[in-house]
Structure 1
């Protein structure tokens, strides 16, 4: 159980088992059946978990594509989800980060079911924990799923997003899925978009000098390939100072 802004969220450690970037339909069926076997007996066909619409794999309409719209892998991963206040474990999940949709599979038929997003309190997959947060118009903050990277007085959350880019390859139109993550610090119930050390230290004037020293002594550069790690390190240090 994690606390964020005074609210409790269900988060469970998991072990993923999907194979990344595999597209063979036989592999997909085998993966889903393997995951489903762990929870079919515990979840009836009329379970509340299956009250969402069917998920349609929309990118077939994009013709030639590079990559996929899912978080980490296009294969189902064993996960846990808090849905309408009820917790379910060992559930096969896919997370479409282009549409911000969480998908599970109907037992036996393997029909893809799109969970109703606001009804998902939280979910965990492959050691990543996500929570649903409401819109904050004042902060220009969109409702949806956010990965919880640091929990404490100040929390670090990441919006995992993929966008499509169109290009011409050999005279053919090709669409590529490009991941563009956004990071927020949630402090005093307010989310703030951040991308640099200065963005973060500005939020904590009482500890600004200490944080600046920490950035310098630990050589936190906030470059593209280290930004997430540096952000986690800096905010974790702030939380330690605040205890």
Structure 2
């Protein structure tokens, strides 16, 4: 009985230590407070914290209120019962989810093939590939009639990760076809049948659909 109590106490203290590490980062300062008028925001997918999972310093946390500042490429934890949010050390966040969106951190040579070290959204994950999106928000000062004004604008870049060490830039149809030359005819037929890449506004959805179709095809010699 005493051993069971000691084990429970040790487990409790370990959990507390893990949580304290999570909330022991630097304070996140919302830099848009300097402006009187703000159009848009610096967060993705939205400015409201959502429950998520997080792998930080090798520990996995679940049900944590998270924000993702994509202008700074920084994960932010909303502290319970506190006026302050915590900015996590980006190099120690290996993966996280916000709502139904998943993100991974790339670093080293594979990241250098893409947009550099940082967080990439996992759009699609197959047995031997991942379709990734690098999200950006630019911040532009636009003074207007005695007011300080800032505008956020979004941009996205797409990458196809093959294995652990190859990252290809994906701009559209031709990039996907070039990545899979052995399946080119089948992919072209799928593009025609589904009328993909006919609307620039649907480019991301079309890239996802085409790569998803590729994952359903058998490998060819």
TM-score w.r.t. the length of structure 2 is 0.82
Where does 1:41-60 land on structure 2 (aligned, <5 Å)? 43=16, 47-60=20-33
8 Å Cα contact 1:55/1:103 also seen in 2: yes
8 Å Cα contact 2:114/2:167 also seen in 1: no
Identify the structure with the greater helix proportion. 2
The corresponding residue for 1:149 is 123
**C-alpha RMSD of the superposition:** 2.2
Where does 1:22-33 land on structure 2 (aligned, <5 Å)? none
Q: Which runs of 5+ in 2 are unaligned?
A: 1-14
The corresponding residue for 1:105 is 78
Matched, 1:237 2:210: no
Shift of 1:43: 4.7
Change (3 A) 1:222 1:118: farther
Where does 1:204-215 land on structure 2 (aligned, <5 Å)? 204-215=180-191
Shift of 1:168: 5.0
The corresponding residue for 1:133 is 106
Larger Rg: 2
Shift of 1:235: 0.5
Q: How many residues align?
A: 202
8 Å Cα contact 1:221/1:230 also seen in 2: yes
The corresponding residue for 1:33 is none
8 Å Cα contact 1:167/1:174 also seen in 2: yes
Render the CA deviation track for 1:53-74: whole Å, top value 9, x for unaligned. 1111112234422111011221
**Larger deviation, residues 134-143 vs 154-163:** 134-143
**SS state of the match for residue 47, structure 1?**
helix
Where does 1:189-228 land on structure 2 (aligned, <5 Å)? 189-221=165-197, 223-228=199-204
8 Å Cα contact 1:154/1:235 also seen in 2: no
CA distance in 2, matches of 1:231, 1:176: 28
CA distance in 2, matches of 1:157, 1:187: 11
**SS state of the match for residue 201, structure 2?**
coil
CA distance in 1, matches of 2:157, 2:56: 25
Select which of 90, 95, 103 maps to 2:63: 90
8 Å Cα contact 2:134/2:156 also seen in 1: yes
* Greater relative contact order (Cα < 8 A, sep 6+): 1
TM-score w.r.t. the length of structure 1 is 0.75
CA distance in 2, matches of 1:232, 1:207: 16
CA distance in 2, matches of 1:71, 1:173: 23
